[in-house]
Amino acid sequence: MTVYGLVDCNNFYVSCERVFNPKLEGRPTIVLSSNDGCAIARSSEAKALGVKMAQPLYQFADLVKQHDIQVLSANFHLYSDMSNRVVQVLADTAPSVQQYSIDECFLDLTGITEDFIDFGRMLQTKVLQWTGIPVGVGIAETKTLAKVANHIAKESAKSGGVVNLVESPWKTKALAITQARDVWGIGKQFTKKLNRNGVMTALDFMNQPDGWIKKEMGVGGLKTVRELRGEDCIGFESIPKPKQTTLVSRSFGHEVTDLDSLTNAITVFATTAAEDIRKASLVSSTVAVFIETNRFSSESQYAPTRSVDLSPATNNTKHIIRAAVQGLKEIHRDGLKYKKAGVMLLDLVDADHAPVSLFDQLDPKDDQLIKAFDQINRQQGPGSINFGNAGLPSSWQSNSAYRSSRYTTEWGGIPVVKA
């Protein structure tokens, strides 16, 4: 029998902030999206005060003042690094690990001989001790059931944050207290359809005939209901499939009109995207660039995209920036106010299997340059060295008035302890 674990970090973004700022413990805390727009993470205390997920800041500004809610700008460099640390702890402890999202990991616990509850509590303790991040653990025979177990672990104080549904006598009760909308793979539209047909809980869903499920929800719905019955339909991949594309984009803090500012933004995005695929040992053969005016404005709308081929396929920052800026210049129009831009790297393949043309000319100095570029940024911190004007401040940059330091990724952000 296969056994899965799901480890989910509690209020992850807020928990990351609390690791380095203990004064936030027990206080209502909110993390805002790019440009300090809306809430993307809330502490339990903030949830209790009525702050909703994705709610714009201006809508709960009165609550912030009334209850002294701590408001922070998103610090994605910190969250990504803390996520990697949590995953490393889990990888050192569990037989196999598959990261599902920045704050969730599936574990293959098949073959574990100790009590699953004890193992789950050991994971909790180890992750908290080594990273400072509190986690919940759900254990079951399928990934979907592990998700159910984890959901209950987070909601039930009695569970202590660990729930095991493997051959559990109260599995039926667990499904009965889980709303259909909380089942992994059931979105809003399917939830409405299920509710209209009297299917309110995970248990109701599991008991529906296969024919009806397949007709109303397709093969995906049938796979989900079989997973709830204990049939492993998804499987486990400790090595994720390589992605086909990568996208880096931002909404600007202020509308941008001049080409220089757009070039600065595109250079930054292309640099990040190139670094992303380089870490994954991938190369791209196509760069796509897009810019957008403010879609909420009454002024003329303009949202073009331009693709530029890369030959040979590459992950070299210099070549990717050159292609991205070329595409930008081809689609830029004077006199418009731009609110968003982005860079996509398409047709990604493994660097060792990239097609090579007889007509491609490769400069060995390019590889040496990029290796030196990466080494300096690893040693001195991200952004210590840049291509072109990427390191210069510009008006496009997102508003982050409440952002904490990059405690783990920049030398200047390392906490200082005075004795």
Residue 356: pLDDT over 80: no
207/205 Cα distance (integer angstroms): 5
Q: pLDDT for 183-242, tens place per residue?
A: 998 988 899 999 999 999 999 999 999 999 999 899 999 999 999 999 999 888 755 566
Query: What residue ranges do the domains of the chain occupy?
Result: 4-9+81-228, 12-78, 246-380
Instruction: Tell me the average pLDDT of the chain.
Output: 89
Of residues 143, 208, 204, the one with CA closest to residue 178: 204
Task: Give me the helices (H) in 242-380, please.
Answer: 259-279, 317-331, 364-380
Q: pLDDT for 330-339, tens place per residue?
A: 999 999 999 9
Please state the rounded mean pLDDT for residues 235-254. Answer: 79
Looking at the domain covering 12-78, what would its CATH class be? alpha beta
* Strands 305-314 vs 282-293: parallel, antiparallel or unpaired: antiparallel
Q: Does the fold of domain 246-380 match that of domain 12-78?
A: no
| Omega before residue 28 within 30° of 0, cis | no
Please state the rounded mean pLDDT for residues 152-180. Answer: 93
DSSP for 147-210 reads HHHHHHHHH-GGGTTEEE-TT-TTHHHHHHTSBGGGSTT--HHHHHHHHHTT--BHHHHHTS-H
Q: pLDDT for 267-302, tens place per residue?
A: 999 999 999 999 888 999 999 999 999 888 888 899
389 — pLDDT class (breaks 50, 70, 90): low
Q: Residue 371's pLDDT is what?
A: 82
Q: pLDDT for 23-70, tens place per residue?
A: 999 999 999 987 888 999 999 999 999 999 999 999 999 999 999 999
CATH no. for 4-9+81-228: 3.30.70.270
Please state the rounded mean pLDDT for residues 146-155. Answer: 95
Residue 360: pLDDT over 60: no
* Model confidence, pTM: 0.78
357 — pLDDT class (breaks 50, 70, 90): low
381 — pLDDT class (breaks 50, 70, 90): low
Of residues 291, 250, 273, the one with CA closest to residue 346: 273
12 — pLDDT class (breaks 50, 70, 90): very high
Which CATH superfamily includes the segment(s) 246-380?
A: DNA polymerase, Y-family, little finger domain (3.30.1490.100)
Residue 348: pLDDT over 80: yes
Q: Residue 102's pLDDT is what?
A: 93
CA separation, residue 407 to residues 152, 410, 411 (Å): 33, 6, 8
